[in-house]
Structure 1
């Protein structure tokens, strides 16, 4: 099969197409004929050998999210899955290829009427947004502040919060027209922007100085969830009257694989 293989870390030029052996599904696995493979920000960090985690071993076929048709199954897997159009994670490697292995427990059949390309685009950001939304337990009438509202996870969080009956404020630097489709807009590059917002819930995918300032917008007893940390961790949140919904640290290499 054809696959993209990286033998070194660096820019996109380290991704090279070559012919490799077809993978064979093992116990509990399926084999997917790949039509679309997703690319996330984290995967570009892995490719570059940077990020808050140890670089994986090389050589490797990158790719953690794919969409396509199941063409074979391994031992212990229902053969009726063959022919099913699915999206799935691969465990962190093997997605940039004609064929990819995945755990049968991870595959999600694509509903009728949903384009496969759209389903793959939603796979990574969608599961992150749903997890954060469920964790926050948003109540109708609450005000929710979403940072990086013009991005993939941020845009989905705005929609989920609005569907839950919340008043939604999207903080971004640009993309105003997009953000205002789902709520009100505030420019977080402006001095003192957070003073205009009082929020019960903050979703922060930015971190750094912007995320730290966003914490000042929280009402007493508010909830905050940090994810992504694109600009670094919060610097001054000790003593604020908030409950922080935060994972204990960056994902391990095993989680990314």
Structure 2
């Protein structure tokens, strides 16, 4: 059995089986951004692996939970040898399989994936000067302006609008004298889990505990509903915050770059 070229949208349900690892695949499809092409391994009604090639040359890979990708190493290497990619973003066992392939590559560490079980969440209950409220679509212009000062890239206004309107996620903001200074959001909430995204605080308000308080307030109702929490991060100081809240590292994204003479 070989990989078959398919419409990327047909693999959404496969990616959605693990939002924590496949967040950016789901985000891209929900945001109606086009992939250059996509490939499926397994049957159309039960795909096992999905390979997504972005127009930038970045490859993202979704694997059905419980499947060992080493079983299709030959087929996956054959596919990757036939398409023009520059970088593969892969986690866990997928990255391990790709690292063992014959093409020349350079490997860097990317984002860390962490998980917090409901009974591991730690609340500090520290008081501060902020006023917190759940955000609506009307508040998104302020969120965008805050994100511009903190992130190089972030979810589009339209994506966040659709998320809030559909109820797929929520957003919380902290205000100081009427100014939005910290934000935390969720995405892809299910009956059992939620993904924490878009955690940011204006630089002049950092290191005051505002971001932690915002996260605590956002997560409390999720914990009460017995939901496990997931997130991705790449900044060391963020890792300290999440660890203090009870998050534990469960996986690491590797950035596998192809050497130029291999493209």
Q: Same fold (TM over 0.5)?
A: no
Which has the larger share of helix?
2
Query: What is the TM-score of this pair, normalised by structure 1?
Result: 0.28
Query: What is the TM-score of this pair, normalised by structure 2?
Result: 0.28
